[in-house]
Amino acid sequence: MFKNTEDNHQLTNKLDPNNIPAHVAIIMDGNGRWAQKRHLPRIAGHKRGMETVKTITKVASDMGVKVLTLYAFSTENWKRPHDEVSYLMGLPVKFFNDFIPDLIKNNVQVRVMGLIDQLPAQTQKAVNDAIKDTEDCTGMVLNFALNYGSRLDITMAVQSIGRQVASGTLDPEKIDDQTISDHLMTGFLGQLADPDLLIRTSGEERISNFLLWQIAYSELVFTDVLWPDFDRVVFEEMMLEYQRRDRRFGGIKTSK
Ligand code: IPE
Ligand code: IPE
Ligand code: MG
């Protein structure tokens, strides 16, 4: 658990540039509680959380992260009150409106995974425009999970594999880990599809239907910090924690 209270602005210098996680995934949680603590409506937390996304995108890209996957809206988040859902659906419009020039300047490519067709028309347009506007960027991939659920992801992959088997283009005996990875919504990331580091903010220590297949060997790091308070210092502390881990993938300890 990390708190952003220490004076450790020199942390970047402590990070090993040769051991930066290539794919970082974040469950951005705690916007509502951040607002409640201030006697503000929950949407004030989402608004502030959007600013954190801008900060962390820039920090991650500067550090050399290759893929940053952000859980922005789950398939279960439709259960929330209508006003909150509509505010959340408007956020990508605001976010890309403000931030596309910076993303292009930083050579960041936007991608989105989830059931985009179910989003309101304006949100779909914002998302599709952002993907198009940044398609020539060759730096970090900023991958939003929007109306995403991992069980949905796996179900759709199984359906797609099933169709190939039924049509005779895929031999069931040939289905392996790679076949499944390729059919998931992270398949476009190729060798980078699985996160090296998964972060969740706000003190909750659960996965909430995020990347269930892909995190088989991810390092999980949690912080009590609420997403709107998350910043460079906390992020760097979590990266340092990642660098202290010994990833064995079922093998034996390597000498460090
Ligand atoms: C995360 O913050 C943002 C979304 C899930 C969209 P929450 O809105 O879940 O904030 P808490 O968990 O209620 O504090
Ligand atoms: C997970 O957060 C989804 C996102 C961050 C988009 P939730 O706040 O929806 O998860 P639970 O309900 O606490 O598990
Ligand atoms: Mg939450």
Q: Where are the domains of the chain?
A: 8-149+192-244
- Residue ranges of the annotated binding site for substrate are 30-34, 42, 46, 74-76, 78, 80, 200, 206-208
Higher pLDDT, 213 or 9: 213
Cα of 36 from ligand 1 centre, angstroms? 11
pLDDT score recorded for residue 254: 65
Ligand 1 center from residue 226 Cα (angstroms): 9
The mean pLDDT value for 224-235 works out to: 98
- Residue-level pLDDT at 3: 52
Query: Residue 65: which of 237, 239, 246 has the closest Cα?
Result: 239
CA-nearest of 173, 169, 189, 171 to 181 is 189
Cross-strand partners of 219: 197
Q: How is 56-117 classified by DSSP, letter by letter?
A: HHHHHHHHT-SEEEEEEEETTGGGS-HHHHHHHHHHHHHHHHHHHHHHHHTTPEEEEES-GG
Q: Which atom of ligand 1 is nearest to the CA of 72?
A: 6
Task: Please name which ligand lies nearest the alpha carbon of 146.
Answer: 2
Atom of ligand 2 nearest to the CA of 77: 9
| 128 is annotated as an active-site residue | no
**Which residues lie with the beta carbon below 6 Å from any ligand 2 atom?**
27-29, 71-74, 77, 204, 206, 208
Residue nearest to atom 13 of ligand 1 (CA): 32
Q: What are the angstrom distances between the C-alpha of 185 and each of 91, 108, 144, 158, 214? A: 22, 19, 11, 12, 10
Is 3.40.1180.10 the CATH classification of the domain at 8-149+192-244? yes
Residue 31 Cα to ligand 1 midpoint, Å, equals 5
Candidate list 4, 8, 77, 209, residue with the active-site label: 77
Q: What is the pLDDT of residue 255?
A: 60
Residue 116 DSSP SS3: helix
Binding residues for Mg(2+): 29, 219
Query: How many Cβ atoms from other residues are within 10 Å of residue 224's Cβ?
Result: 15
- What are the tens digits of pLDDT across the range 122-150? 999 999 999 999 999 999 999 999 999 99
DSSP code for 25? E
Mean pLDDT of 150-175: 98
Per-residue pLDDT at 1 exceeds 60: no
pLDDT tens digits along 52-106: 999 999 999 999 999 999 999 999 999 999 999 999 999 999 999 999 999 999 9
**pLDDT for the residue 2:** 52
Give the residue among 54, 142, 140, 141 at the shortest CA–CA distance from 91. 54
Please write the tens of the pLDDT for every residue from 10-33.
666 799 999 999 999 999 999 999
Residue from 29, 153, 194, 229 carrying the catalytic annotation:
29
Residue type (1 letter), 203: G
